[in-house]
Amino acid sequence: MVKKFLVFYRGLLDKEVAHINQAALLLGLFAFLSLVLAFLRDRFLAHVFGAGTELDIYYAAFRIPDFIFVTVASVVSLSVLVPFIIEKEGQSRKSLREFIDSIFSFFCILIVTVSVAAYFLMPTVAGILFKGMKPEALEKLISLSRLMLLSPILLGFSNLFGSLTQAFNRFAIYALAPLLYNLGIILGIVFLGGEMGSYGVAIGVVLGALLHALIQVPFLIKSGLLPRFRLNFGRQAHSMILNVMKISVPRTLTLAMSAITLLFLTSFASLMGDGSISVLTFAVNLQSVPLSLIGVSYSLAAFPTLSRRFRENDMQAFVEQMATTTRFIIFWSLPLSALLIVFRAQVVRVVLGSGLFDWNDTRLTAAALALFVASSLFQCLMLLFMRGFYSAGETKKPFIITLFSTLALFASAYGLVKLFYASEIFQYFVGVLLKVEDLPSISVLMLPLAFTLGTGLNALLLWLAFERGFPGFSKRVVRTLFETFSVSVIIGYAAYVFLGLLEPLFNNETLIGLFFQGLSAGLLAMAAGVFVFVGLKNREIADIWSVVRGRFWKAKVIATDPEIV
């Protein structure tokens, strides 16, 4: 068995991917498979635990190690280390070896110190963050979170290993790692979740993180690049570490805002009814799909060109590239958001509807998903504007705007929850609007609403700041914004109508029937949208058609850091 694995590893995973078509196919295939496994993971969690106390404890316990990973482990992220690795490799193998060992040793000390401190501070931190938990639930949360502190350490190491595999074009190894992470969690749910409950899932998280790192080790051993720990930091090592930190710290601070927001929302949800944290987390996971498919893809694809245009001092081309990318983000995000809002119950039921996850859980999660999806365009634009500022060498402004918007999000969450409990009219309005008026604990819906308001403010302020720095940007985008918004309303209405018309043709009591009803209605609604776009002579749809005809799959694929996604 081991021999067969080694043959497979050397034949595919250890093979350098030099041709860009191979890289694109491999990364695209594994990205799709990773998404499928992520949905499967959530479905197993919903099936085994439902939206209840046990899953609330697990998700709350997961947030603290996840926060450590996003903040501390981003020091050794791909976008920071790969340029250094390529530069050192160009100098000499010895320089590369010294750089890897220095960064690895520094990171070991940093992540282990932070994790050990978190271990001992966990009762205090968890007690502050999750005041709504009962004493026995809080005690279990602390134990789970302490166990999962191994995951940011392992994933941090894997981040560093991934920088090396990417720099040396081992795309298959890097692309397979997220699959193994989700696979580890699924194994924990299936084989340990039934007997050990959330402890089994936590073990699966650690197993997944271990697999994420180990899959990259054989290549590093073979190439002689496996990092070695050493304590004797010389002057040159200190200089290399400082250079990396100068680049990574601004990026880490901005990433921290997103992690802090999720931690805050989870903390607030702990004060609400049982299952509130689970509903919130399921909705967050589902709404992240548009962000990953559109926001991450377009912002990453535009970043090299934006950086090049600014470096060449070609401001007109720089602004034009930003405007073009913004138009396409709007073009894709608004129609997709309209479809997800209309099909919210079908999406939740198909992905999560199994076992202990009942119809009431589905309805509440669907309502939360609709409110989160309303912020999809804002989230995608935030990523693009941040990349635009970074390419212009500006890191302070997006951080200040994000910090202010995050504080505004916290304030709006507090105010909305207060208003919800103080006003029966507001409660009734929210319940009727989202068709959950007969459900308990719908106060949790104030959190995704606050999230949408906060991200909307963030995107607006970033837009205004960019327009102020680069005048003329907005006028290139306004037509697409109004045109796409109008067509998205038509698409949403068409989807609603087709959903009703097709209902007698499918058995909604089965997963297959529900899926094909939604798929058929969605395709018909999209066809109607395309027809309207063509009638309006929309330039985005014409551009997309020309790209499809030009065989877009031959384009270069840019990998991103796991903590961003």
pLDDT of residue 8: 46
Give the count of domains, the chain.
2
The answer on pLDDT for 527 being more than 80 is yes
Q: Domain check: are 245 and 365 in the same one?
A: no
Q: Domain check: are 284 and 222 in the same one?
A: no
Coil/strand/helix, residue 354: coil
Q: Domain check: are 206 and 328 in the same one?
A: no
Q: Domain check: are 380 and 467 in the same one?
A: yes
In a domain, 561, yes or no: no
- Which residue blocks in 132-234 are alpha helix, DSSP H? 135-147, 150-167, 171-188, 194-196, 198-214, 217-223
In a domain, 439, yes or no: yes
Q: Which residue from 221, 255, 243 is spatially nearest to 84, judged by alpha carbons? A: 243
CA-to-CA dists, residue 77 to 63, 439, 441, angstroms: 20, 43, 39
For the stretch 166-204, pLDDT in tens is: 777 666 677 788 889 999 999 999 999 988 999 999 999
For the stretch 461-485, pLDDT in tens is: 999 999 999 998 999 999 999 999 9
Q: Domain check: are 204 and 286 in the same one?
A: no
Q: Domain check: are 38 and 155 in the same one?
A: yes
The answer on pLDDT for 553 being more than 80 is no
Q: Domain check: are 216 and 240 in the same one?
A: yes
148 within 8 A of 62, measured Cβ to Cβ: yes
For the stretch 139-154, pLDDT in tens is: 999 999 999 999 999 9
The residue range of the domain holding 164 is 1-227+234-260
Q: Domain check: are 84 and 185 in the same one?
A: yes
Which residues have a Cβ under 8 Å from the Cβ of 283 and sit 6 or more positions away?
Answer: 365, 368, 369, 371, 372, 448
Q: Domain check: are 296 and 254 in the same one?
A: no
Give 549's pLDDT tier (boundaries 50, 70, 90). low
Q: What CA–CA distance (Å, rounded) separates 125 from 139?
A: 12
In a domain, 306, yes or no: yes
pLDDT of residue 301: 66
Q: Which of 65-74, 495-504, 520-529 has the lowest mean pLDDT?
A: 65-74
Q: What angle do CA 415, 420, 425 make, to 5 degrees?
A: 130
pTM across the whole model: 0.86
Q: Domain check: are 110 and 216 in the same one?
A: yes
For the stretch 194-203, pLDDT in tens is: 889 999 999 9
339 within 8 A of 522, measured Cβ to Cβ: yes
